[in-house]
Amino acid sequence: MRNPLADWINERTGYRAFARTFSDQVMPGGARWRYVFGTTLATVFLVQAFSGLMMMLAYSPSSNSAWGSVYYISNVMWMGWIIRGLHHFGAQTVMVLLGMHLVQTLLSGAYRKPREVNWWLGLALFVLVVGFGHTGYQLPWDQKGYWATKVVTNIMGGAPVVGPYIKTIVVGGNDYGNQTLTRFYGLHVGVLPVLLFLCLAAHVYLAKRHGLTPPAHVAPGREENYYPAQTFRNTAVSALVVAIMMGLVLYHGGAPLDAPADPSTPDYPARPEWFFLSLFQMLKSFPGRLEWVGSIVIPGSILTVLALLPLLEKVLPWKVLHFLACMFLFVLVGGAGYFTAAALWSDAHDEGFKEARRKADAAEARARFLASSPQAGIPPDGAGFLLRRDPFTEGKAVLEKKCMSCHVLDGQVAGEQSAADLTDFGSRAWIRGLLEEPSSAKYYGKVAKCDGMAEWKKTSKLTAKELDDVADFVASFAKIPADITPDEWLSDETVVKHPGSEPFQKECGKCHVIDGYTEGGVRDSPRLFAWGSPQWTERMIRKPGAPDLYGYLDPQFQMPAFGRDQLTEDDLKAMIRYLRGDYPMPMDRSSKAASPEAAGNVPAAAGHLP
């Protein structure tokens, strides 16, 4: 059936004659499955080019916006997760196909005259693909790409004489940031694609000029045109490979995206993609300043040997050379497999790595949740602040760093416990437990000179119902606004008529003073007005020895004060919000954050931080 449009185009371009130069190509020995790798690689290259162009429409190459734009592509943009997933798994598929193509070419002796130049072009394509993988790895500007890039560039910088200069050029200065990302992006979408296109075009041209390398022993007269038998094989394998890539995308839900890059992370478990694991493991055999030997000298030497193969036929008999080349290949493949297995085994038995990986996975999940949360979202000044301003992440980290040498949190303490357990500190449940058993290690059992409530408990006549009411009453103190005075608070009828008010006045008020409400005097105790509120907790952290707090204790028994030189305002606010449970959580815990009373997580009053 004639197609007028195709005829019109053919009259002006002659594309049918050009296509016939491929389809009519005679293949000695006939079509074979082992010839499919080149076409399949070209197919995946096209997928990479198309998906890359689609992502360029939304990607922003800046250290402030890169992570956010990749998150947008993966989670918001229509079909974005499929496009990015295909690009991600396509990059890994290219490495596999390229390796198989290299093996097939070497085993068939296709590096011999007259195909030397094509062999060298194939090696150049291999180097370019590795360059694509490395430069694309860090474009999301997430933890995984950032730390992997830092490891690689540090190794490059360790090379003698030129190493520091190369590192400076690649990084774009001394620090990793916009310059680094911009350079990698420029290489990934500008320089490398041009070089790849030129090498690929030359590679295809020479492959067509010299034809496919036939088997060593071909039956006389066995010839076949490229079309349709070989075309069918190529199309079938290409379709299968793309289908596998799509299957991986669907199975994994797209491509992974780690937490935003954070240079201050002390223990991120940096690991390269699986196809670089063998090199990563081998580098462990070259510690310290010798790393560049494993990362540059050995890979460079392997490439040099492969590049010299066509020339070595001039000094070695062909059969000897081919035998040695095949042995060299088997050693390479075997060595890569051994080091990859060793790397996986090492990580599987490294408890430190597994713990670091667990933390990294938790940070990734938290970052993704915050980015999607209407209560948080990606900060305008960059995704790098996403976790740094998250009370659940930063507040907990500050608390663990500053307070856990004395306090307990989630059953953990860095030193010997000498202060109260801060797990759910200030919640209604925490207060009720304190009223029930103040001498417990969770409260004041291990706090020196703070046995006042234990003494009160011995003489207390409050019933369980009254203790419940007092716990409810004290828990409400945390909601007192910062601009409310005790008189204004007491003018609220709900305060005076609260069921816990009377028992509180009768027993707690004997020690704890609230101006105009209780007089204290029986024993020195901190004042409890607005206990558990942000303003009370801030004062407790900044000035624990103030007269209205624990100033009655000797200095050696007071909690250390944390001035602004020890605890920034941002860190203090994050820690207080963490203690109060004031942070967004996923749906299965959102009810706790949104309605803390229901979960017994109300920051309250009556208790002591130290």
pLDDT at 41 over 70: yes
pLDDT at 594 over 50: no
Mean pLDDT of 20-40: 87
Count of Cβ atoms closer than 10 Å to residue 411 Cβ: 7
Check residue 588 and give its pLDDT. 54
pTM, two decimals, is 0.83
Check residue 152 and give its pLDDT. 79
Q: Report the DSSP beta bridge partners of residue 409.
A: 412
Length of the chain: 610
Check residue 598 and give its pLDDT. 35
pLDDT band with cut points at 50, 70 and 90 for residue 2: low
Burial of 264 (0-12, 13-18, 19+ CB in 10 A): exposed
Boundaries of every domain in the chain: 33-270+350-354, 394-580
Name the residue with higher pLDDT: 610 or 405.
405
Contact 456, 438 (CB under 8 A): yes
Share of the chain above pLDDT 70, in %: 96
pLDDT at 261 over 70: yes
Per residue in 44-99, pLDDT (tens digit) is 999 999 999 999 999 999 999 999 999 999 999 999 999 999 999 999 999 999 99
d(CA 579, CA 80) in angstroms, rounded, equals 38
Mean pLDDT of the chain: 89
Name the residue with higher pLDDT: 450 or 355.
355
pLDDT band with cut points at 50, 70 and 90 for residue 606: very low
Check residue 125 and give its pLDDT. 95
Token pair 């979202």 is at which residue? 377
Check residue 603 and give its pLDDT. 35
Contact 258, 144 (CB under 8 A): yes
pLDDT at 535 over 90: yes
Check residue 605 and give its pLDDT. 31
pLDDT at 357 over 90: yes
At residue 221, the 3 state secondary structure works out as coil
Structure tokens at 250: 């669907």
Check residue 370 and give its pLDDT. 95
**Sequence-ordered list of residues with C-beta below 8 angstroms from that of 422, at least 6 positions apart, any chain:** 399, 403, 407, 408, 409, 579, 609
Per residue in 324-341, pLDDT (tens digit) is 999 999 999 999 999 999
Contact 486, 529 (CB under 8 A): yes
**Sequence-ordered list of residues with C-beta below 8 angstroms from that of 467, at least 6 positions apart, any chain:** 432, 435, 436, 503
User: Can you name the CATH fold of 33-270+350-354?
Assistant: Cytochrome Bc1 Complex; Chain C (1.20.810)
Check residue 251 and give its pLDDT. 97
Q: How big is the CA angle at 248 (ends 242 and 253), to the nearest 5 degrees?
A: 125
Name the residue with higher pLDDT: 540 or 167.
540
Mean pLDDT of 414-424: 88
Closest CA to 229 of 15, 20, 27, 38: 27
pLDDT band with cut points at 50, 70 and 90 for residue 15: confident
d(CA 439, CA 14) in angstroms, rounded, equals 94
Per residue in 376-391, pLDDT (tens digit) is 999 998 999 999 989 9
Count of Cβ atoms closer than 10 Å to residue 515 Cβ: 14
pLDDT at 238 over 90: yes
pLDDT at 361 over 50: yes
Highest mean pLDDT among 85-94, 108-117, 176-185: 85-94
Closest CA to 84 of 76, 591, 572, 552: 76
Check residue 206 and give its pLDDT. 93
d(CA 264, CA 565) in angstroms, rounded, equals 19
d(CA 252, CA 223) in angstroms, rounded, equals 44
Contact 258, 250 (CB under 8 A): no
Mean pLDDT of 505-533: 91
Amino acid found at 316: L
pLDDT band with cut points at 50, 70 and 90 for residue 597: very low
Contact 145, 138 (CB under 8 A): yes
Check residue 1 and give its pLDDT. 58
pLDDT at 394 over 80: yes
| Crossing angle of the two packed helices 231-252 and 80-107, in degrees rounded to 10 | 140
Which segment of 19-28, 227-236, 298-307, 429-438 scores lowest on mean pLDDT?
Answer: 19-28
Which of the 8 DSSP states describes residue 479?
Answer: G
d(CA 349, CA 347) in angstroms, rounded, equals 5
Per residue in 555-581, pLDDT (tens digit) is 888 999 999 999 999 999 999 999 988
Check residue 530 and give its pLDDT. 94
Per residue in 497-517, pLDDT (tens digit) is 999 999 999 999 999 999 999
Closest CA to 540 of 442, 449, 610: 610
